[in-house]
């Protein structure tokens, strides 16, 4: 069974750890660089990307995380985590630390005051026919994807809200709050594939 680290500096890491454990996976909070050593995959949760980025630097996690991701560590960013993974952010705060790993451009808080938080059913073919009920909380949208990036889901408006680039997964919404564990199972599948290939 793969071991998954959940970045536990800020945001809703507890919900991710709970979801992974319900699926029978080993899940551990990551707060220090050494917590990264024995993980087969990492989740960067939702929260506030500016705060989480600063804390990553304060805890000396940003560089080791960048290096592991560059070396192929399966990593899933949800909401703020997706912003941290993006190569480019339209409206990052000046000096906001980013991991810049996925070939995507995102827009923070893309859905404006009216629809800052909303829920909707998404069609996600990678998860099967059953729609995926998605919760968006001051979510980003993905405005541009590179050629190696697969679009997993869009809103009816056309906004891209779930992407995959090899072992990297990004969702603009919060799969850890709904009880539908299919995205967590999908990520475990990615980590188990990478784990089996490496051992
Ligand atoms: N708007 C937040 C940010 O910019 C993300 C919100 C979330 O993770 N729910 O980081």
pTM of the complete model? 0.95
Candidate of 49, 89, 93, 115 to mutate for ligand 1, largest count of ligand atoms within 8 Å of Cβ:
49
- Give the model's confidence band at 114: pLDDT under 50 very low, under 70 low, under 90 confident, else very high: low
Residues 6+ apart with CB under 8 A from 115: 136
- Between the CA of 138 and the centroid of ligand 1 the distance, in Å, is 6
**Residue 155's domain is classified under what CATH number?**
3.40.50.880
Q: List pLDDT tens digits, range 122-164.
A: 999 999 999 999 999 999 999 999 999 999 999 999 999 999 9
Q: Is 79 a catalytic residue?
A: yes
Ligand 1 closest atom vs CA 137: 9
Residue 58, classified by CB atoms within 10 Å of its CB into exposed (0-12), middle (13-18) or buried (19+), is exposed
Predicted confidence at residue 1, as pLDDT, reads 75
Average pLDDT over residues 54-62: 96
The residue whose C-alpha atom lies closest to atom 5 belonging to ligand 1 is: 80
- Between the CA of 156 and the centroid of ligand 1 the distance, in Å, is 21
Backbone φ, ψ for residue 54 (5° rounding): -65, -40
Q: List pLDDT tens digits, range 2-23.
A: 899 999 999 999 999 999 999 9
Alpha carbons 51 and 34: distance in angstroms, whole number: 21
Q: Domain of 112? A: 3-198
Predicted confidence at residue 85, as pLDDT, reads 97
- Between the CA of 47 and the centroid of ligand 1 the distance, in Å, is 5
- Give the model's confidence band at 108: pLDDT under 50 very low, under 70 low, under 90 confident, else very high: very high
Candidate of 140, 170, 178 to mutate for ligand 1, largest count of ligand atoms within 8 Å of Cβ:
140
Q: Is 15 a catalytic residue?
A: no
Predicted confidence at residue 92, as pLDDT, reads 75
Tokens of 19: 């979801």
Residues 6+ apart with CB under 8 A from 138: 79, 109, 111, 116, 117
* Number of structural domains found in the chain: 1
- Between the CA of 116 and the centroid of ligand 1 the distance, in Å, is 10
What are the start-end ranges of the H helices in 72-181?
80-85
């Amino acid at each position: 069974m793969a071991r998954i680290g959940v970045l536990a500096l800020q945001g809703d890491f507890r919900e991710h750890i709970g979801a992974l454990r319900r699926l029978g996976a080993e899940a551990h909070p990551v707060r220090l660089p050494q917590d990264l050593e024995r993980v087969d995959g990492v989740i960067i949760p939702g929260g506030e990307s500016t705060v989480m980025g600063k804390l990553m630097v304060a805890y000396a996690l940003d560089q080791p995380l960048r290096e592991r991701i560059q070396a192929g560590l399966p990593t899933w960013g949800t909401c703020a985590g997706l912003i941290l993974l993006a190569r480019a952010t339209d409206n990052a705060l000046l000096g906001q630390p980013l991991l810049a790993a996925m070939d995507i451009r995102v827009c923070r808080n893309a859905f404006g005051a009216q629809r800052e938080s909303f829920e909707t059913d998404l069609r996600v073919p990678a998860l099967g026919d059953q729609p995926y009920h998605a919760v968006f909380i001051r979510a980003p949208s993905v405005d541009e994807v590179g050629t190696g990036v697969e679009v997993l889901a869009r809103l009816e408006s056309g906004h891209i809200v779930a992407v995959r680039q090899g072992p990297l997964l990004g969702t603009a919404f919060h799969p850890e709050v709904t009880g539908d564990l299919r995205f967590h199972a999908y990520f475990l599948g990615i980590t188990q594939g990478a784990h089996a290939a490496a051992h």
